[in-house]
Every structure is written in structure tokens, then in C-alpha cells.
Amino acid sequence: MIGTDTEVFGIALGHEFIAANLYHRRIIGTICRSLFDVQGIRMSELKKHPSDIAKAAVKYLATLEKSPKTKRVNEEVLWLFIESLKGDGADCVELKDGTYALKANWDAYYGGAISGFLDWFLPRKVMMGDDAIKRVPGILRKFVQWSFDQGYFDEEHREDFMDSLPRGKTGEVKRLRELEKMLFTLHSPDPGAWARGELDKVKPLNAKRRPEKVEEGYMEFVRADGDTGYFRADRKKIGPVLLTKAITSKFKAGDVANLTVGKFGDAWHVLETGNVYPEGTMG
């Protein structure tokens, strides 16, 4: 279950990695980004797509008067956005080298394409440092506005795209990432062990206890009660789940967390954690 959340793009290497959990994914992602910074291959990949979204991205990137590092971040974000749109095979065309490129244009999409990228694709599939991922909404907002100004789509599309990029979106992305890290500490006695290579210390806190019952999967956060929380999963009510007040204060009703929880006596304990998604993502 948790593994489905952690199959991610190897940004630098062109491979997929399966990290043991969210925290491990962040560590590997930092390594991959440093390798990517040396390669700088995304612009050439963008030019392969016949889609006017990719053509707009290439032209937009050429207008940026930013530092090399900022340009690379913008380039990578727009490349990832187009990769997310390739999920529908009908929107792609096979190239001579056997790879697939996006053919669908701006006018084939509405705001759902952007919200799906931010709320689903990025946390589920992409290894990117926290500072960079918090910049994604702003980067997309500027790109969308520039594309509209250049006549790539009409006002109706612009409004729908921008509705998926509200000003508070960056804060929301930050909240969800922080919540994921905090949840991870509930079942790992030493979150830094993976980074130090001390794999023998990467183990569940409840490894020596057998839960009476286990539930796993996507769970919707319903409400908080002090340092415990209540969730709903497939019409089942799960709780109280021991969390901490710091964590329950971060949750919002409707958030969906990928969890494995075990019941020990009257309370549930967190055994494994994956990503946390905003309300409506799983619908």
C-alpha cells in the first residue's frame, strides 16, 4: 500500500526508484537533483513535443532573466508538468525513437490538469526538495499568464487555470509536506538513520508488538480531538488514532492520508505513512 505512493521519477537519472517511505524519498530526491543540475537536459526534451504547451514553455523559458539555478528550477517544473499530461495515451504521439511526446494543446485542458499535477502527480511521483516544490505554484501561475498573453488560449481557460492556482496554494503545499514529515516520525524512532546509512535503526516503533487489528489505505481526516484524530476509510470510522497536537493542528477536515494503522487496546497507532493529499484529490 505505502509503496504505491513512493514510486517516483528519478529526475536526474531517467529511472524510477522505490523508496521505503516518504522520508527516504526526500533524501534520494536531493541526491538526484544535484546530479540533474549538472546534466541540464530538460530543454532539449521539451522541444520534442508537438504540443503548443511545450512550445510555449520553450519560448517562455527563453524570456526569463534569472539566475542559472532559478532557470533550471523553472525548466524542470515545466518539464514535469508536461510529463504529468502524458498520462493519457490519447494525448500523446509516438516518435521515431520509440518514445512518446505530448500532442494535445492548451485548449484541450482546463484547471483539473493543473490541480492534478500539484495535488496528485508531484507528491506521488516526483523527487524534489521542499524549497523547490513550494515554488511550483508561483512558477505555473506566471507561465499560465504569459501563455494567455501570447494568445495560446482564451479567457475562459485562463480563469479556470488560475482558479487551480490560488495565491494560498504555496502555503497549502508547504503544510502538506510538513504534515507528511511529522507523520513519519510517529513510526520511526530515528528519522535521520536513513540519511546516515544506519539502516538497522530504520524500523517501526511497534515492531515488537502485534496489533489486534490493522487498517491500511487512503483515509480521510474527519476531526481532531486533542492529540488524537478520527479518519474515514471505505465508510469505516477509524479512531481515535494517536497523533500529537502538533499533527492534529496541521490536518484539515477532508485531507486524505495514505496510512497503515494498528489497533492496540482502545487506540490506534500509526505504523506506516505515505503522502497526504488535499480535500477532493481522491474523488
The region that residue 65 occupies, defined by phi over 0 for left and psi between -120 and 50 for alpha, beta otherwise, is beta
* Better-predicted residue by pLDDT, 32 or 251: 251
Q: Cα Rg for the chain, rounded, in angstroms?
A: 20
Distances (CA, A) of 137 to 63, 162, 174, 178: 19, 10, 11, 17
Give the pLDDT confidence of 124-171 residue by residue, as tens digits: 777 666 677 778 999 999 999 999 999 999 999 999 999 988 777 778
Rounded to whole angstroms, the Cα distance separating 200 from 205 reads 13
Element containing residue 50 per DSSP (H, E): none
Band of the pLDDT at 191, cuts 50, 70, 90? low
Band of the pLDDT at 9, cuts 50, 70, 90? very low
For 37, the grid coordinates are 543540475
DSSP E strands in 4-131: the ranges are 7-9, 16-18, 92-94, 100-102
Strand pairing report for 256-264 and 213-225: antiparallel
Give the pTM.
0.66
Q: Which domains does the chain have, with CATH numbers?
A: 40-167 (no CATH), 198-277 (2.40.50)
DSSP E strands in 175-225: the ranges are 213-225
Least reliable range by pLDDT among 2-16, 131-145, 231-245: 2-16
The predicted pLDDT at position 248 comes to 95
The predicted pLDDT at position 28 comes to 36
What does pLDDT average to over the chain?
Answer: 79
Work out the number of other CB atoms within 10 angstroms of the CB of residue 69: 10
Rounded to whole angstroms, the Cα distance separating 244 from 229 reads 9
Distances (CA, A) of 79 to 91, 101, 209, 261: 16, 12, 45, 36
Least reliable range by pLDDT among 28-42, 238-252, 258-272: 28-42
| Amino acid occupying residue 211 | P
- Cα 114 to chain centroid distance, Å, stands at 12
Yes or no: say if 97 and 148 are a contact pair by the CB < 8 Å rule: no
Strand pairing report for 228-233 and 236-242: antiparallel
Yes or no: say if 11 and 76 are a contact pair by the CB < 8 Å rule: yes
